[in-house]
Structure 1
Amino acid sequence: MTANTITGSMVALVTPLHGDGAVDYVGLKRLIEWHVASGTHAIVAVGTTGESATLDYEEHIAVIRATVDLTAGRVPVIAGTGANSTREALALARGAKAAGADAHLSVTPYYNKPTQEGLLQHFRVIADAVDLPMILYNVPGRTAVDMAPETTLALAEHRNIVGIKEATGSIERMRDVMARRPEGFAVYSGEDNLGAASMLSGGQGSISVTANVAPRLMSRMAEAALGGNSEEAEHLDGRLAPLHRELFCQTNPIPVKWALHRMGLIGPTLRLPLTPLADFCHAGLEQALGEAGCLDRQ
């Protein structure tokens, strides 16, 4: 894989669970088949939207392997492999490679707040040891550490580090990295409300929560944006805008799992410490789903 091989709408897929908390592999197959049929361009397995923080190592690798098997090469699979321990992130990256993932997504270590030098060393250790394309993931709102553009650009010189998912909420940050990146280094939006703008600015795609519930609209929007059709991309993104907002009325993935259950695709189960969607969010999310045609699975 080269940096620009994986482009478009990449769903940050939820991990469906049975009522007892066990992984629901029948539900996972249902979601994957729907995404492939709906034009989703790649699937991110067991990222943070997939509740990676509460799956143990064996479950984590099993879900990656199942996703690889169920997609059967029809779309690329990006495995979530991030951890705040470099040793754990390295083990997950090795497990993802063994499971057959096409690439892996590694979030900046959370809670322990490494320095920029610590981030450089963390990602280089993993990239040196595992010959699998790595996408960095910067989401300071969840990790309490912000990877500076200069750190990203230094890491971009590594042959196995092929892109970054930027979730700072700043289109200017993404444009800055795009302007200075080495040839072939991909920039993906990690904020659904900036996905269209980032692709129209030269980004390669959106790693999306919204794509969980509106995969066809998201894939059409991404194709328009990547094709430079700003009018069509902005029109479709306007239809998606209420979802971009309401799917974050509480902590992700609480709202998106409620939405998928409302659509009849998965059960409602989350693992503690996540809890069910608060009542005050229901009406707004229901309305957003209806406006985007999701209740008819459009």
Structure 2
Amino acid sequence: MSTTANGIIPVMLTPYTSDGGIDEYGYHRLTEWYLANGADALFAVCQSSEMHKLSLGERVALARQTVETVDGRVPVMASGHIAGAREQQAMELKAMADTGIDVLVLVTNRLPESQGANDDTIRKELLWLMDQLPDDLPLGLYECPMPYRRLLSDDVLRFCADSGRFVTLKDVSCDLETVRRRAELVKGSPLSIVNANAAIAWPAMQAGSRGFCGVMANFHPDLYAWLYHQGKHHGVMAQELSIFLALAGTSETQGYPAIAKRFHQRLGTFGSIACRNVDVDIHQSYWALEALLDNIEQGAELYRERVSKLLRVVK
């Protein structure tokens, strides 16, 4: 199984039209923006995509459009299931598998949906679902925090690594020591641990995270890409940049994903900030939001200039 899914993996937004449908043209432009700004892979149909508010038909269409637009330039992964009943999950997963994605992602809080499930139950659920899927399709794992966060135990993670079927875990522990322990645990297997938290992005990379798969890759994926691919050669700059990225990451609490859509509206990527997950006016609920976006944008440009100068000096 040669497909990998690591590096900088933006969690893709879903832009909408004025009538509430999916803005396919805006989504195409957004996909190209990710690719032009350092994405090593793309995570379609995830919580940032508002997958819990999308019909199965919409989820399948988004995944298929992503595959068609990317056209093999980077791996495309997508969440396969949001249902509760295992038979419904299997149907959803099979539909997503047929879209041509490179990695089919299993959502850990569906394994099963009961919060009290023990490790043995989770392993059995994984085995049952894996038996329903093409054995040549790489699988991923996503510790999606909605409707609740289920972190996999070390024993279940080791089981997944040893199976040889899994190539990535989007780690939502938001804990550096957990990332470090997990990276060591899966060493030598096809499974990569990819941290999702901006506050620990750089130390997590140093501790074995194989990239970054967090919401702030919707703002400045190129800076995370530099950090991941070049940071180890420029320790002082990497540390300074990581502080900016961590502070910018606090904007996630300001009505995400609407704030990220407003950022792209300002860029001209697409036209609407409408969300199905956010039902408040973000400018009324989060004061000085435009000033915050100004600072994020200006700070990112300052670091881009510094990185560019650093590269010129190195050459």
Determine which structure has more spread, i.e. the larger CA radius of gyration.
2
**What residue in structure 2 maps to residue 62 of structure 1?**
61
Per-residue CA deviations over 1:193-215 (Å, capped at 9, x if unaligned) read 22222211122111121111212
The code of the aligned residue for 1:245 comes to T
User: Which residues of 2 match residues 61-140 of structure 1 at below 5 A?
Assistant: 61-85=60-84, 86-109=86-109, 112-116=114-118, 117-130=120-133, 131=135, 132-140=137-145
**What residue in structure 1 maps to residue 179 of structure 2?**
174
Alignment of 1:200 onto 2:206? yes
The code of the aligned residue for 1:247 comes to E
Alignment of 1:247 onto 2:252? yes
**What residue in structure 2 maps to residue 191 of structure 1?**
197
**CA 1:19 to 1:248, structure 2 compared with 1: closer, same or farther past 3 Å?**
same
Check whether the contact 2:258–2:278 (CA below 8 A) recurs between aligned residues: no
Q: 15-24 or 256-265, which moves further after superposition?
A: 256-265
Consecutive unaligned residues of structure 1, counting only runs of 5 or more, are none
**What residue in structure 1 maps to residue 169 of structure 2?**
164
Aligned partners of 2:89 and 2:205: how far apart in 1? 29
The code of the aligned residue for 2:41 comes to A
The code of the aligned residue for 1:87 comes to E
SS at match of 2:140: strand
Match of 1:279 among 286, 299, 311: 286
Structure-2-length-normalised TM-score? 0.84
SS at match of 1:293: helix
**CA 1:163 to 1:269, structure 2 compared with 1: closer, same or farther past 3 Å?**
same
**CA 1:200 to 1:169, structure 2 compared with 1: closer, same or farther past 3 Å?**
same
**CA 1:88 to 1:279, structure 2 compared with 1: closer, same or farther past 3 Å?**
same
SS at match of 1:109: helix
Q: 34-43 or 76-85, which moves further after superposition?
A: 76-85
Check whether the contact 1:242–1:288 (CA below 8 A) recurs between aligned residues: no
**What residue in structure 1 maps to residue 5 of structure 2?**
6
Check whether the contact 2:8–2:41 (CA below 8 A) recurs between aligned residues: yes
The code of the aligned residue for 1:234 comes to Q
Aligned partners of 2:132 and 2:239: how far apart in 1? 41
Match of 1:290 among 295, 298, 307: 298
Aligned partners of 2:239 and 2:18: how far apart in 1? 39
The code of the aligned residue for 1:279 comes to Y
SS at match of 1:292: helix
Check whether the contact 1:47–1:81 (CA below 8 A) recurs between aligned residues: no
Q: Which runs of 4+ in 1 moved over 6 A?
A: none
Q: 133-142 or 91-100, which moves further after superposition?
A: 133-142
Check whether the contact 1:213–1:256 (CA below 8 A) recurs between aligned residues: yes
Aligned partners of 2:260 and 2:298: how far apart in 1? 14
Aligned partners of 2:5 and 2:233: how far apart in 1? 17
Q: 102-111 or 129-138, which moves further after superposition?
A: 102-111
Consecutive unaligned residues of structure 2, counting only runs of 5 or more, are 309-315
Matched pairs, number: 293
Check whether the contact 1:106–1:135 (CA below 8 A) recurs between aligned residues: yes
The code of the aligned residue for 2:130 comes to A
Deviation at 1:84, TM superposition (A): 4.5
Aligned partners of 1:285 and 1:269: how far apart in 2? 17
Check whether the contact 2:16–2:274 (CA below 8 A) recurs between aligned residues: yes
Structure-1-length-normalised TM-score? 0.88
Aligned partners of 2:141 and 2:123: how far apart in 1? 11
Per-residue CA deviations over 1:59-80 (Å, capped at 9, x if unaligned) read 1001000000001111110112
SS at match of 2:194: strand
Check whether the contact 1:189–1:203 (CA below 8 A) recurs between aligned residues: yes
**What residue in structure 1 maps to residue 312 of structure 2?**
none
Per-residue CA deviations over 1:12-31 (Å, capped at 9, x if unaligned) read 01011112210111001101
Deviation at 1:118, TM superposition (A): 3.1
Root-mean-square deviation (CA, aligned residues, Å) is 2.5
| Same amino acid, percent of matched pairs | 23
Q: 267-276 or 158-167, which moves further after superposition?
A: 267-276
The code of the aligned residue for 2:58 comes to E
Match of 1:265 among 263, 269, 283: 269
Check whether the contact 1:119–1:147 (CA below 8 A) recurs between aligned residues: no
Alignment of 1:20 onto 2:25? no
Alignment of 1:147 onto 2:149? no
